[in-house]
């Protein structure tokens, strides 16, 4: 009897604590901290070195991931051959640039972020470049760096429900829903326009507009009978505070006819019901 009770309590504790989710939250906490560290270091470099002849933030035509390429034979890296990276939007002229395995965490300009932090007057504020706790191309969990030559942006994807909800409801920039970013919002080839065309989390809770958080401004308008909570188009949400309430008869969201949604060659649609 005692053993049975202990077993039941153990199952309850595991289900309540959800250790897998706690591990995801721990990794996301590291990502938040790393983004702050990288942003501070890059801001210091820009402030200290702007105008110097050696000032360089990298190539505007490259997207730099925190993953290394084991086939790279020099610290300059290559285009991440063999890593199964997603195809970047060719219209932007972007290509991948991975550092080599023996230098990808270096802070002298040969690491995955192509900035020589050692040129800062007081020396590099970090001893090595942080990388994503998972740092895998297969899962998409890696850091990324983009620049337009004078500004920078670092980004990290999230995996825990807690942090995805937090940053999904209040994105740091409209271009990156549920993504941590630091620096100046740049239309990164990693997430946009090669990424989401539209992102509607239906979490407004009131009103007749649904906001497109992908940054493409394909906002929608509710039509039909507002038969959700308190005469709104919303009910309680599983992810976030609210969810869209469709009565199954005449409710729909009208997005108009934006070019990005007109019979594309390929499209993926994901929805929570």
| Residue 75 located in a structural domain | yes
Residue 47 lies in a domain: yes
**Residues 177 and 204 grouped into a single domain:** no
Would strands 95-96 and 62-65 be described as parallel, antiparallel, or unpaired?
parallel
Domain count across the chain: 2
Residue finishing a domain among 152, 183, 214: 183
- Domain membership of residue 38 (yes or no) is yes
Write down the pLDDT at residue 193: 44
Q: For residues 90 and 260, give the distance between their C-alpha atoms in angstroms, rounded to a whole number.
A: 16
Same domain, 125 and 255: no
Co-location of 153 and 244 in the same domain: no
Whether 244 maps to a domain, the answer reads yes
Residue that has been written with the tokens 């702007």 in this structure: 50
How many other C-beta atoms can be found within 10 angstroms of the C-beta atom of residue 216? 18
- My answer on whether 46 and 147 are in the same domain is yes
User: What residues make up the domain containing 266?
Assistant: 196-273
- Of 151, 183, 215, the residue at which a domain comes to its end is 183
179 in the same domain as 256? no
Q: What pLDDT, on the 0 to 100 scale, is given for residue 4?
A: 66
Domain endpoint, select from 130, 158, 183:
183
CB atoms within 10 A of CB 84: 8
Q: Is residue 115 part of a domain?
A: yes
Pairing of β 62-65 and β 144-147: antiparallel
Q: Do 161 and 60 share a structural domain?
A: yes
Q: Are residues 24 and 126 in the same domain?
A: yes
Per-residue confidence (pLDDT) for residue 174, from 0 to 100: 60
At 64, give phi and psi (nearest 5°): -105, 110
The dihedrals phi and psi of 147, each to the nearest 5 degrees, come to -145, 155
Q: What's the DSSP call for residue 88?
A: P
221 and 119, same structural domain? no
The CA distance from 128 to 146, in Å, is 19
Distance CA(18)–CA(167), nearest Å, equals: 21
Reduced to 3 states (helix: H, G, I; strand: E, B; else coil), residue 2 is helix
What's the pLDDT score for residue 6?
72
d(CA 103, CA 128): 10
190 assigned to some structural domain? no
Block residue for tokens 């409209």:
174
Is the domain of 264 the same as that of 153? Answer: no
Say if residues 238 and 210 touch (Cβ distance below 8 Å): no
Task: Verify that 66 and 105 share a domain, yes or no.
Answer: yes
* CA separation, residue 75 to residues 50, 114, 136 (Å): 24, 10, 20
Low-confidence ranges of the chain (pLDDT < 70): 4, 7-17, 73-79, 87-93, 168-169, 173-177, 187-196, 214-216, 239-240, 263-265
Judgement on whether residues 174 and 256 belong to the same structural domain of the protein:
no
Residues 98 and 233 in one domain: no
pTM surpassing 0.75?
A: no
In-domain check, residue 188: no
Residue 3 in any domain: the answer is no
């Amino acid at each position: 009897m005692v053993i049975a009770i202990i077993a039941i309590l153990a199952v309850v504790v595991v289900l309540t604590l959800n250790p897998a989710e706690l591990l995801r939250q721990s990794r996301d906490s590291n990502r938040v901290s790393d983004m702050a560290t990288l942003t501070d270091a890059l801001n210091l470099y820009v402030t200290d070195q702007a105008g110097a002849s050696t000032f360089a933030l990298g190539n505007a035509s490259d997207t730099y991931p925190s993953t290394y390429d084991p086939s790279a034979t020099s610290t300059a890296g290559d285009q991440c051959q063999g890593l199964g990276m997603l195809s970047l939007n060719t219209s932007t002229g972007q290509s991948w640039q991975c550092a080599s395995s023996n230098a990808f965490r270096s802070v002298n300009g040969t690491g995955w972020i192509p900035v020589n932090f050692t040129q800062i007057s007081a020396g590099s504020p970090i001893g090595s470049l942080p990388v994503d706790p998972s740092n895998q191309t297969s899962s998409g969990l890696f850091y990324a760096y983009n620049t337009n030559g004078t500004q920078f942006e670092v980004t990290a994807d999230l995996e825990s429900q807690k942090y995805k909800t937090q940053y999904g409801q209040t994105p740091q920039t409209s271009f990156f829903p549920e993504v941590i970013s630091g620096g100046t919002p740049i239309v990164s080839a990693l997430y946009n326009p090669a990424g989401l065309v539209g992102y509607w989390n239906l979490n407004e809770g009131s009103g007749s507009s649904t906001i497109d958080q992908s940054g493409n401004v394909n906002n929608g308008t509710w039509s039909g009978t507002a038969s959700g909570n308190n005469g709104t188009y919303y009910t309680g949400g599983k992810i976030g505070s609210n969810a869209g309430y469709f009565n199954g008869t005449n409710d729909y969201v009208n997005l108009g006819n934006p070019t990005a949604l007109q019979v594309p060659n390929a499209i993926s649609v994901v929805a929570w019901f």
